[in-house]
A = this chain, B = another copy of it.
Amino acid sequence: MADDDPTTEFSPSADPSGSSVGAPVRVRVRADTLRPLLSAVGSLVDECRVTFGPDGIRAAAMDPATVAAVEVELSASATTAYEADGTTVGVDVTRLREVLGMADDDDPVTLAFDPDGRRLHVVAGELEYAMGLFDPESVRGPPDIDELGFEHTAALTLPGETVGRFVAAAGMVADHLTLGVDPGEGAFVASADGDTDDVRFVVPAEEAAAFEGGEAESLFSLSYLECIERAVPSGADVRVTLGREAPLGVEYEVADGGGRVEAFVAPRLQAV
């Protein structure tokens, strides 16, 4: 069972596997610190690779159609206890979200591996859940996003709610939308054309934080943006990066800056 004092370091008896030998990962962290990270990954995939590195947890995933990718990180400093040796495992994200759904927001949750590394023990209050892990080699790995070296020509920071609104507006008329910056107008523009109706959503530069307005315009499938947007925590500010027929970047902090989510969506070809 979890210790009620989340600041206490692990004692051997807190190890649900009954032994500290060969169980290299033990993390204690509030449920609401983990939730937005799992939501971000779970918006694109059901299973993903998670690495428990020496300085924090990192997970990355790419959707089955390889159109969108997401990378999340949580610093060890955002946890209340952290021990890890760099192990990478394959995790059922959907299931782990359900298990965390049983915990209250401020419940300390303990994650620990079996000695043989085949199961993840999740302890939250009275609940002890042993979850089967996958071979990480069997889970689709995302590309290294930094290596892809996407270049953006425009960037701006928006409330997450604004992203939700232009995605919903576009969804009234079409299944895709164009995102761009018109340097002349000095505004970010989301637009979608339907059979009979069109919609435009305009954010002037002065209403966006950190507006860098080079020319940019790309077409995206709406469904990926809907998934990514749904995972943005209420109240979060989102940094959006755009280019000319280039990927969309969506980036935000979670856990009071102790965690970070970065998502990318590949553009669709523009109809000529």
Contact = CB atoms under 8 A, between A and B. Distances in A.
B203 A126 contact: yes
Interface string A84-100: 00000000000100110
Interface string A71-110: 0000000000000000000000001001100100000000
Interface in A197-239: 197-204
Interface stretch (A28-36, A143-151, A165-173, A260-268): A165-173
Interface stretch (A42-50, A56-64, A127-135, A175-183): A127-135
Contact of A126 (B1, B95, B165): B165
Contacts of A132: 196-197
A19 interface: no
State how many copies of this chain the complex holds.
3
Given A1-B202, A95-B172, A165 B197 contact: no
B197 A131 contact: yes
Nearest to A193: B130
A162 interface: yes
Given A99-B172, A165-B102, A130 B198 contact: yes
A130 B197 contact: yes
B130 A199 contact: yes
Contacts of A128: 199-202
A98 B129 CA distance: 39
A166 B129 CA distance: 11
A196 B91 CA distance: 12
B198 A168 contact: no
A165 B199 CA distance: 40
A159 to B, nearest CB: 11
